[in-house]
Amino acid sequence: MVRYSFKRLKDRFERIHISLVQNLAKAISHPYIPNSEFKTKQSMLKELRIENIDELYLDVPNQYRLKRRLDLPRTKSESEVKHHIESILKKNTTNQDMPVFLGAGCWPHYVPAVVENIIQRTELLTAYTPYQPEISQGVLQLLFEYQSLICELTGMDVANSSLYDWASALGEAARMANRLTGRQEILIPQIIHPERYATLTTYMEPVEIRAEKVKYEKDTGLFDLQSLEDKVSDKTAAVYVENPSYLGFIESQGEEIANVAHDHGALFIVGVDPISLGILKPPGDYGADIVIGEGQPLGNHMNFGGPLLGIFACSGEIAMIRQLPGRVIGMTTTQDGDNRGYCMVLQTREQHIRRHKATSNICSNESLCAAASAVYMALLGPSGLRDLGETITLRSHYAMKRLSEIEGITTPIFQSSHFKEFTVNFEERGVQEVHNKLLEHNVHGGKDISTEFPEFGRTGLYCVTETHSKKDIDNLAEALEEILKEGGV
Partner 1 sequence: MKDFKQARWNEPVIFELGRQGRRGFIVPKVEGLIKECVGDIGTLLPEKMVRKSSPELPELSEVEVVRHFTRLSQMNYCVDLGLYPLGSCTMKYNPKIDDLLAHQPSLTQLHPYQDEKTIQGILEILYVLGKWLAEITGTFEVSLQPAAGAHGELLGALIMRAFHKLNGGLSERTQLIVPDSAHGTNPASATMAGFDVVIVPSDKNGCININALREVVSGKTAGLMLTNPNTLGIFEENIEEIAEVIHEAGGLLYYDGANLNAILGKARPGDMGFDIVHINIHKTFGTPHGGGGPGAGPVGVSQQLESFLPIPRVVFDGIDYHLDYDKPHTIGKVKSFYGNIGVLLRAYAYILSLGSEGLKTAAEISVLNANYLLKKIAEIGAYDLPYDTERVRKHECVFSVKGLKQETGVTALNVSKRLLDYGIHAPTAYFPLIVEEALMIEPTESFKKEELDRFVEAMRRVAEEAKATPETVLKAPMNTAVTRLDEVKASHPKTMILSWKMHQKRKKASR
Task: Work out how close the CB of 210 gets to partner 1 at its nearest, in angstroms, rounded to a whole number.
Answer: 14
Residue 216 CA to residue 253 CA, distance in Å, equals 12
With CB under 8 A as the contact rule, which of the stretches 9-17, 204-212, 234-242, 479-487 interacts with partner 1? 204-212
Q: Does 290 bind partner 1 (CB under 8 A)?
A: no
Which residue of 190, 227, 351, 404 would you call a contact of partner 1, by CB under 8 A?
351
Window 292-311: residues binding partner 1 (CB under 8 A): 301-308
- Non-local CB neighbours of 64 within 8 Å, separated by 6+ positions: none
Give me the amino acid identity at 338.
D
Compute the half-sphere exposure of residue 373: CA atoms within 13 Å on the CB side of its CA: 31
Q: Does 334 bind partner 1 (CB under 8 A)?
A: yes
Residue 216 CA to residue 252 CA, distance in Å, equals 13
Query: Which ranges of 161-264 would DSSP assign to H, the alpha helix?
Result: 166-181, 194-204, 225-231, 254-263
In terms of DSSP bridges, do strands 267-272 and 236-243 run parallel, antiparallel, or are they unpaired? parallel
Closer CB to partner 1, 5 or 87, in the complex:
87
Residue 293 CA to residue 106 CA, distance in Å, equals 11
Which residue of 8, 10, 38, 40 would you call a contact of partner 1, by CB under 8 A?
40
Window 212-241: residues binding partner 1 (CB under 8 A): none
431, 458 contact by CB (below 8 A): yes
Collapsing DSSP to helix, strand or coil, 345 comes out as strand
Which residue of 2, 383, 487, 488 would you call a contact of partner 1, by CB under 8 A?
383
Output the CA torsion 283→285→288→293 (10° steps).
Answer: 20
Give 208: exposed, middle or buried? Use CB within 10 Å, 0-12, 13-18, 19+.
Answer: exposed
Which residue of 179, 225, 233, 331 would you call a contact of partner 1, by CB under 8 A?
331
Window 171-200: residues binding partner 1 (CB under 8 A): 175, 193, 195-196, 198-199
Closer CB to partner 1, 233 or 448, in the complex:
448
Could you give the C-alpha distances from 44 to 22, 53, 56, in angstroms and in order? 21, 10, 12
Q: Does 259 bind partner 1 (CB under 8 A)?
A: no
Q: Does 277 bind partner 1 (CB under 8 A)?
A: yes
Which residue of 393, 423, 425, 475 would you call a contact of partner 1, by CB under 8 A?
393
Q: Does 270 bind partner 1 (CB under 8 A)?
A: no
Task: Work out how close the CB of 416 gets to partner 1 at its nearest, in angstroms, rounded to a whole number.
Answer: 8
260, 238 contact by CB (below 8 A): no
- Name the maximum alpha-carbon separation found in the chain: 104
Closer CB to partner 1, 231 or 389, in the complex:
389
Give me the amino acid identity at 168.
S
Closer CB to partner 1, 138 or 233, in the complex:
138
Site size toward partner 1, by CB under 8 A: 209
Q: Does 21 bind partner 1 (CB under 8 A)?
A: no
Window 440-479: residues binding partner 1 (CB under 8 A): 444, 447, 466, 469-470
Residue 157 CA to residue 160 CA, distance in Å, equals 11
With CB under 8 A as the contact rule, which of the stretches 124-132, 210-218, 407-415, 478-486 interacts with partner 1? 124-132
Collapsing DSSP to helix, strand or coil, 293 comes out as strand
Window 411-440: residues binding partner 1 (CB under 8 A): 417, 435-436, 439
DSSP string, 11-47: HHHHHHHHHHHHHHHHHSPPTT-GGGSHHHHHHHHHH
Closer CB to partner 1, 16 or 25, in the complex:
25
Q: Does 85 bind partner 1 (CB under 8 A)?
A: yes
Q: Does 24 bind partner 1 (CB under 8 A)?
A: no
Task: Work out how close the CB of 237 gets to partner 1 at its nearest, in angstroms, rounded to a whole number.
Answer: 17
With CB under 8 A as the contact rule, which of the stretches 8-16, 25-33, 178-186, 260-268 interacts with partner 1? 25-33
Which residue of 20, 23, 48, 230 would you call a contact of partner 1, by CB under 8 A?
48
Helix (H) or strand (E) holding 149: helix 137-154
With CB under 8 A as the contact rule, which of the stretches 1-9, 88-96, 183-191, 421-429 interacts with partner 1? 88-96
In terms of DSSP bridges, do strands 290-294 and 310-314 run parallel, antiparallel, or are they unpaired? antiparallel
Please state the φ and ψ torsions of residue 461, each to the nearest 5 degrees: -105, 115
Q: Does 56 bind partner 1 (CB under 8 A)?
A: yes
Window 137-176: residues binding partner 1 (CB under 8 A): 137-139, 141-145, 147-149, 151-153, 157-159, 161-162, 164-168, 175
Task: Work out how close the CB of 186 gets to partner 1 at its nearest, in angstroms, rounded to a whole number.
Answer: 17
Which residue of 176, 187, 280, 483 would you call a contact of partner 1, by CB under 8 A?
280
For residue 327, give the nearest of 468, 163, 475 by alpha carbon.
Answer: 163
Give 164: exposed, middle or buried? Use CB within 10 Å, 0-12, 13-18, 19+.
Answer: buried
Please state the φ and ψ torsions of residue 220, each to the nearest 5 degrees: -105, -20
Which residue of 112, 287, 430, 457 would you call a contact of partner 1, by CB under 8 A?
112
Closer CB to partner 1, 205 or 482, in the complex:
205
Window 63-82: residues binding partner 1 (CB under 8 A): 63-66, 69-76, 78, 81-82
